[in-house]
């Protein structure tokens, strides 16, 4: 019974949401809207639960002085610091307004670190282009040609190389054609395939055939 009830609940909820797409009557639309309202706050709670997990996982290794324990304290300290500042010293709902201490943390800690972390990829993609991008087969050759045409055809310097040629064989024209037709065709094939896959998986969940999400872990 304890396993069956959540499965039944998933089915009812899923069917109501699907019906709301086709039936705008308030008897269907309003319950579906309430479910979406709840989903919004549940997802927000999920983030808070995730933060509690961060404390649980890192707190243990920080206290037991396991590997990198000093860094775990930095992690826990900065997380706690942001929360204390955001909850108590930044004007409540105006916590992100210009001039609040929390906004300072966003501007000068969060923004530069996140942006720089992702910018490291520029270096690794260059190194991989040299070491790993090998044209061993016809398939790989097609991939390389498409990559080079798009890479060079979408920037001004690439445009200059073929500016003297007739328009149909200029690099930007070729890059745009490639994106709009063969590339688009493959992406559409993938989209239709994925669409059918998602519909099948969604229906399996709603009908209770797929239940892996019901596993609980403490």
Q: Which residue has the tokens 């983030």?
A: 47
Kindly determine how many residues on this chain lie close enough to bind another protein according to the rule CB under 8 A.
148
Instruction: Please identify which residue in the block is written with the tokens 């705008």.
Output: 24
| Closer to another protein by Cβ: residue 115 or 169 | 115
- Which 187-216 positions form the footprint of another protein (CB under 8 A)? 187-196, 198-199, 201-203, 205-206, 213-214, 216
Q: Considering only residues 88 through 127, tell me which ones interact with another protein, judged by CB under 8 A.
A: 92-97, 102-123, 125-127
Please, what is the minimum distance in Å from the beta carbon of residue 107 to another protein? 6
Please pick, from the candidates 23, 39, 57, 63, the single residue that binds another protein as defined by CB under 8 A.
Answer: 39
Report the distance separating Cα 210 and Cα 197, nearest Å. Answer: 13
Nearest distance in Å: CB 64, another protein: 17
| Residues in 44-73 that interact with another protein by CB under 8 A | 44-54, 56, 68, 71-72
User: Cα–Cα distance between 169 and 51 in angstroms, integer?
Assistant: 54
Identify the three-state secondary structure at position 168.
helix
Q: Does 147 bind another protein (CB under 8 A)?
A: yes
Closest among 60, 62, 83, 85 to 72, alpha carbons compared: 62
Say which residue the tokens 């991939």 belong to: 143
Q: What are the residues whose beta carbons fall under 8 Å from the beta carbon of 82, sequence distance 6 or more?
A: 102, 105
Nearer to another protein, 43 or 164 (CB): 43
Taking CB under 8 A as the criterion, the residue among 59, 76, 101, 162 binding another protein is 76
Which of 72, 78, 44 has the alpha carbon at shortest distance from 56?
A: 72
Query: Taking a C-beta distance cutoff of 8 angstroms, is the pair 96, 106 a contact?
Result: yes
Q: How far is the CB of 206 from another protein (least distance, A)?
A: 5
CB of 112 to another protein, least distance (A): 4
Which residues between 9 and 38 bind another protein (CB under 8 A)? Answer: 9-18, 20-21, 29, 32-38
* SS3 category, 89: coil
């Amino acid at each position: 019974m304890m396993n069956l009830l959540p499965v039944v609940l998933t089915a009812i909820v899923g069917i109501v949401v699907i019906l709301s797409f086709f039936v705008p009557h308030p008897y269907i639309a309003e319950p579906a809207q309430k479910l979406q309202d709840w989903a919004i706050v549940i997802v927000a709670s999920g983030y808070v639960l995730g933060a509690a997990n961060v404390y649980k996982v890192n707190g243990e290794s920080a206290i037991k002085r396991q590997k990198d324990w000093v860094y775990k304290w930095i992690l826990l300290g900065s997380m706690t610091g942001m929360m204390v500042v955001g909850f108590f010293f930044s004007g409540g709902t105006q916590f992100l307004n210009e001039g609040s201490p929390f906004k300072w943390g966003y501007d000068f800690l969060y923004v530069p670190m996140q942006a720089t972390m992702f910018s490291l990829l520029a270096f690794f993609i260059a190194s991989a282009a040299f070491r790993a991008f090998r044209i061993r087969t016809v398939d790989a050759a097609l991939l390389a040609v498409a990559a080079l045409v798009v890479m060079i055809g979408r920037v001004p310097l690439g445009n200059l190389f073929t500016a003297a040629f007739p328009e149909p064989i200029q690099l930007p024209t070729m890059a745009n054609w490639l994106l709009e037709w063969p590339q688009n065709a493959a992406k559409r094939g993938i989209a239709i395939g994925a669409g059918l896959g998602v519909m099948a998986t969604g229906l399996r969940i709603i009908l209770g055939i797929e239940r892996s999400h019901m596993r609980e872990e403490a």
